[in-house]
Chains A and B, each alone.
Chain A
Amino acid sequence: MTPAVANTSSSHPIHLQQLQLDNARALLDRSMVVELPSPIDSPKEYLQGVIDGLCELSLKDPLTGLGNRRHFRAVQERTIDGVARSGDPALLLMMDIDHFKKVNDTHGHQAGDQVLQAVAKTIASCVRPMDTVARYGGEEFAVVLPNCHTSFGSTVAERIRATIEALSITISPSLTIKVTISIGGAYAPEWIRSTGALWTERADVQLYRAKSDGRNRVCLDHQQEIYVSAEEKNLLFGHLSLGDPAWIESVSSELPATAASSAMQRVN
């Protein structure tokens, strides 16, 4: 924005009375996501509060309080960027409550909702605060775990599965429901800028495998590690480190052609 425009806008301050904020306010009051300051004492903070509250609402699943799919996508993209830059492994778990339709059909949708809430809370309790748990759809949940070493992945997933299996969900004094969950997981390919869709697809394939293998189990996609260790590098050009004179001479005899090779880098 140019200074001239900024001046113009500041000479015409927005008055809250000119804005239709009632609906937004009602929405926020109902969901109680934020404590809003007084619109009369600090109108700017109040407006910012309304906007922040709406943003938060738009990323939340109203039933479970988890992140919704929009939130999940954003976190996933951010995580892929991180993995591509740092190479730190990140795990995606896709999970689905087994035979959830039966719960709805037998006990009604209200009981079904209570099961979803209890499962959501339990999943969230099994992971670190830095992990993102989201409701992906119906009875499907997704967890993004950044900085999750490949050797810990199955431990985390198995902890979630076992905790859900042990959980008794009290619907009413006379009704307790038990459910199980199937989990599929995949690591974001290290150092590679993949897409959220492909990453989800790989985890989904594993979820499908867990389902068809009999449910209530964990299946993880084992991506080959592509890290090249110092030992491997050393062996790759051992001739160089050992100072094999013939080798070094043969490589450095290309020196006069350096200009040529840099030109090729540009063209090729």
Chain B
Amino acid sequence: MSDVLNPPVANETTSTVPLKPLGKVMAVTSGKGGVGKTFVSANLAAALAKLGHRVLVLDADLGLANLDVVLNLYPKITLHDVFTGKAKLEEAIIRAPGGFSVLLAGSGMVEYSRLTPEVRDDFLRIMSGLVPHYDVVLLDTGAGISDVVLFAVSLASEVLVVATPEPTSLTDAYATIKVLVGQQKRQNIRMVINQTARIGDGRAITVQLQQVLDRFVPTEPGRPIKLIHMGDIPADPAVRQAIMRRQLLMQTTPSCPAAMAISQLALKLEENVISRNR
């Protein structure tokens, strides 16, 4: 296997260290667009990489991908070329500034914004080839609840829903959770509340969402839905600066409140999601 698939972040001696059986796949989704999905995915990946994990972020927003914009990367080869057979999978994986790997969809892959059986097969093939080589694979999904988003989420063992305290974001997050519970029989859904104004907001929002779910979404006996509050990312002017400079917050201002919150989130995920798999 190519070295690109075995980034030497965690293990310098990849040739002698056997591959772990299966990495964790976590979908980052939101319902509403513009709540910071890609921002969270990219910076969370950097924070996890800093903890020594081999991380891949896969741009699963096939129709309107913009992980490249956030990371200021202009790869010659993207997922599109892999799908069309013009390039090998290894060639499309590139190193992001934060010490993790990314597989970019390439902006405007419009023909893939509709989930055809071919796209599904391509995606499955690519995922099964990638997952064994990483400790964590983050799927940065598109906005909305389209077939592509639902399919991408269905490949993940964990779901992280990003929401902001705004009513529209909460409604869309709630609708997304409802679909995931109904169609994919998900029980545990992890929540991150972005752009919070004060400590405790995120927890209050999660409790509120949980109460409405309990009341309106029927579940099978013994299979309750559990929203797990993973943390808040406080509103922080440094976020805007990093985004406008198209740099990772974890690199520009690693000690600002939002970056600290993302580091905390990484630690919590390591404890609850990754280490369970080791």
Contacts and interface: CB of A to CB of B under 8 A. Distances in A.
Interface of A: 189, 191-195, 197-198, 201, 223-226, 228-229, 231-233, 235-240, 250-251, 253-254, 257, 259-261, 263-268
Contacts of B146: 192-193
B66 A267 contact: yes
B37 interface: yes
A236 B115 contact: no
Interface of B: 33-39, 66, 69-70, 114-117, 145-147, 165-167, 170-171, 174-175, 178-179, 181-183, 195, 197-198, 201, 204, 208-209, 211-212, 215-216, 235, 237, 239-240, 243-244, 246
Nearest to B165: A251
A221 to B, nearest CB: 11
A261 B70 CA distance: 15
21 contacts: A193-B146, A195-B114, A198-B117, A224-B178, A226-B182, A228-B178, A235-B208, A236-B167, A236-B171, A236-B208, A240-B167, A251-B197, A257-B240, A263-B240, A264-B36, A265-B34, A267-B66, A267-B243, A267-B244, A268-B38, A268-B39
A229 B215 CA distance: 12
Given A226-B178, A260-B239, A193 B183 contact: no
Contacts of B171: 228, 233, 236
Contacts, number: 113
A104 B235 CA distance: 72
Main secondary structure on A side of the interface with B: helix
A268 B70 contact: yes
A254 B240 CA distance: 13
A201 B117 CA distance: 10
Contacts of B197: 250-251, 253-254
A251 B166 contact: yes
A227 B36 CA distance: 24
A232 B174 CA distance: 9
Contact of A257 (B174, B237, B244): B237
A119 to B, nearest CB: 29
